[in-house]
Structure 1
Amino acid sequence: MKNMLTSEFWGKLFSEALGWIITELPGIIILIITLIIMLRLIKFSISRLRIILIKRAENDQAVDTGEAEKRIKTLTGIVMGTTRIILYTVFIIILLSKFGINVGPILASAGILGLAVGFGAQELVRDYISGFFMLLENQVRTGDVVIINGTGGLVEKIELRTITLRDLSGVVHIFQNGKINTISNMTKEWSAIVFNIGVAYKEDVDQVMEIMKQVGEDLQNDPKFGPEIIEPIEIFGLDEFADSALIIKARLKTKPIKQWNAGREYRRRLKIAFDKNNIEIPFPHTTVYWGEEINPLMLKVKQEK
């Protein structure tokens, strides 16, 4: 305390402070200015990159502009946040060294702490990494109909940690991105519905295929359903000799998520066309025989497929 009241103490303190201001303060000011310039430069670069990518998505007719914009904003936001964390970390370390603080033990402690957190939160980190690559590779978008780990539904929300599906019954399913083993997207770029049409063995296969083709053309020319169909119906031909039917396979390509509406309408029209042309759609028959020599109350029932 007595030393603090002497002029020698204050003179020494003033000279050390003045020396620190002359030697270290300009470096700190330059460091702060450099940090601000780098943050502005990175923000500008990422903003320009975002605009370029969005314009490229708008010019590509095969890409959903709204979903592409969401994905681009998400990814660029992640890049910007990560870059800021790195810059601020480097700035704090250099600033502490300017004040004469030994950053070695701090870095060692941070490494040990990061290792502990990494072991404890490895599942969380895995979810975020999987979600990042899911968005980066455009595997799935909001509004797609997908099957994840055997569960199908409409994608309502995509986040870095989870993906949310709602099935046809209204049940919401939430999956951790890191635990997704298989994902099947049924509505990416285009969709299709496959028909396995069964007719009786007595029918003319060529006639049946011609009727199927004509029904597909009429559906494509329909003002309501035509805009949803992107290609004429494909009649693959006789696909199988089943127990009670000849199976003819066909496929109809549509815009994403429109295949079920078009498929239901096609089946309705095909049934009407089969009825008009007396084309039999096979079904199980039951034949009842009345015994003559046996007790007339006994029935013999035979199933014919």
Structure 2
Amino acid sequence: MSATMNALAAQAVTAAEPLLPWAQNGGSAEKACAPGEPSIACRIVWNVSNDDFTRFYRTWLDGPLNTTVTIVITLAIALLLRNIAHRMITRVTLRMAESTMSEKVRERSRTAFEGSPALLSQRRAQRARTLGSVLRSICSIVIMGTAAFSCLGVIGLNLTPVLASATVIGMAVGFGAQNIVKDFLAGLFMLLEDQYGVGDFIDVGTAKGTVEAVTLRVTRMRDVNGVVWYVPNGEIKKVGNESQNWGRTVLDIPVDITEDIEKVKEILQNTADALASDPHWDDLVLEEPSVWGVQELAGNALVIRVVLKTAPGKQGDVARELRERVKVAFDEAGVTVATPTAPA
């Protein structure tokens, strides 16, 4: 880029030289700035000065000033490009953070977007901020690194040993900090794939709880007992997310083995249907409840399974409410709840 600019400027100065007074007197920049090809700065000095001063300038000032001007122009262009890239990235990430789904999309994908609008907005904003920060850092490193190497080349520094040293140092740092690099890469892919976000209830094996913050290096989550867990992203081999798309409440109800199975199934179905049609709960139950039937024969108990498809993360709330209603319905119908006997 700098070579192209220098060539264009040199052509412009050369084209103007025949019209200037010193050229008409038989002089030339090539003679005044000898030895070597005249620089742009030396040509300009020759065109506004005389041969004696031009020779002095060529001997003592041309090299340092030309180098300084080239470095300043290179850094100015690099800063301009970096600012433009940062503005574009910021604009895109802000649009991501502030974007909203149309009502048609929301209705078509109802199960996928249940939850507090404020929580969804917070999750989207944090994901956009993190990705924006990563992209801005990458742009800064690439652009300013290229500019720095260009400036070193202009100064005349031999870049081969510098690059060799940087490679060795980079390998040493990368080997020593491989866990940190692993955490960052895992966090980056996790954000890009939107595996989980703020407000999701996840199980990472070593911990289980609600996500409070997600960074490139670590995930912070709080379990049901209030304990805060900091899990490095590189240590998360697999993650179970109970808050994406939809959930399922699976309730196994043990009753005395002498009870009428069809009667118990009818009570369970009616109770679950009443819960699903309740105005306070119909937003959380996404489909009609289903009684799957006898799940297990355990000693003196019949275990009958009831299943409800729920909004994500609401399985526990629906299960607790259904248990209470089943207890009331069983008491009214005289159905005895049994304790399953473990096999010998």
TM-score normalised to the size of structure 2? 0.73
Structure 2 residue ranges without an equivalent (≥5): 1-52, 107-111, 114-119
Give 2:232's match in structure 1, choosing from 166, 176, 200.
Answer: 176
Q: What do residues 78-104 of structure 1 show as CA deviations (whole Å, max 9, x unaligned)? A: 011111111111101101111222222
Give a deviation string over 1:17-69, Cα, whole Å, max 9, x none.
54336755564454234313322331233234324434555445344333122
Cα pair distance change 1:47/1:104, threshold 3 Å: same
Whether the 8 Å CA contact 1:165–1:172 is kept in 2: the answer is yes
Q: Give 1:125 shift.
A: 0.7
Query: Structure 1 residue 235: deviation in Å?
Result: 1.7
Counterpart position of 2:87: 44
Give CA deviations for 1:193-241 in whole Å, capped at 9, x if unaligned: 2101112222222222221121112112223233222222222222222
Q: 1:213 aligns with which of 258, 262, 269?
A: 269
Partner of 2:149: 93
Q: 1:199 to 1:22 in 2, by over 3 A?
A: same
Matched, 1:32 2:75: yes
Task: Tell me how far apart the structure 1 counterparts of residues 286 and 155 of structure 2 sit (CA, whole Å).
Answer: 68
Question: Which residue in the other structure is 1:117 paired with?
Answer: 173
- What displacement does 1:14 show? 3.8
Aligned equivalent of 1:298:
none
Counterparts of 1:1-305 in structure 2 under 5 Å?
14-20=57-63, 24=67, 27-54=70-97, 58-59=101-102, 61=106, 62-63=112-113, 64-283=120-339
> Which secondary structure does the structure 2 equivalent of 1:228 belong to?
coil
Taking the aligned partners of 2:97 and 2:337, their CA distance within structure 1 comes to 51
Partner AA of 1:32 in structure 2: L
Distance in 1 (alpha carbons) for counterparts of 2:134 and 2:178: 19
Deviations 1:121-142 (A, max 9, x none): 1111111111111111111111
Give the whole-Å Cα distance in 2 for the aligned partners of 1:263 and 1:26: 73
- How many Å separate the matches in 1 of 2:132 and 2:160? 33
Query: Alpha carbon RMSD of aligned pairs, Å?
Result: 2.6
Greater helix fraction, Structure 1 or Structure 2: 2
- CA drift of 1:75 comes to 0.9
Percent of counterpart pairs with the same letter? 31
SS in 1 for 2:89: helix
Question: Residues of 2 paired with 1:54 and 1:145: CA distance?
Answer: 21
> Contact 1:58–1:65 (CA<8 Å) still a contact in 2?
no
The amino acid of 1:41's aligned partner reads: I
Secondary structure (helix, strand or coil) at the match of 2:283 reads: helix
**TM-score by structure 1 length?**
0.81
SS of the residue 1:34 aligns to: helix
May I ask how many residue pairs the two structures share in their alignment?
Answer: 277
* Larger relative strand fraction: 1
1:4 is matched with none
Q: Given residue 275 of structure 1, which amino acid in structure 2 is its aligned partner?
A: D
Gaps of 5+ in 1: 1-9, 286-304
| Offset, 1:114 | 0.8
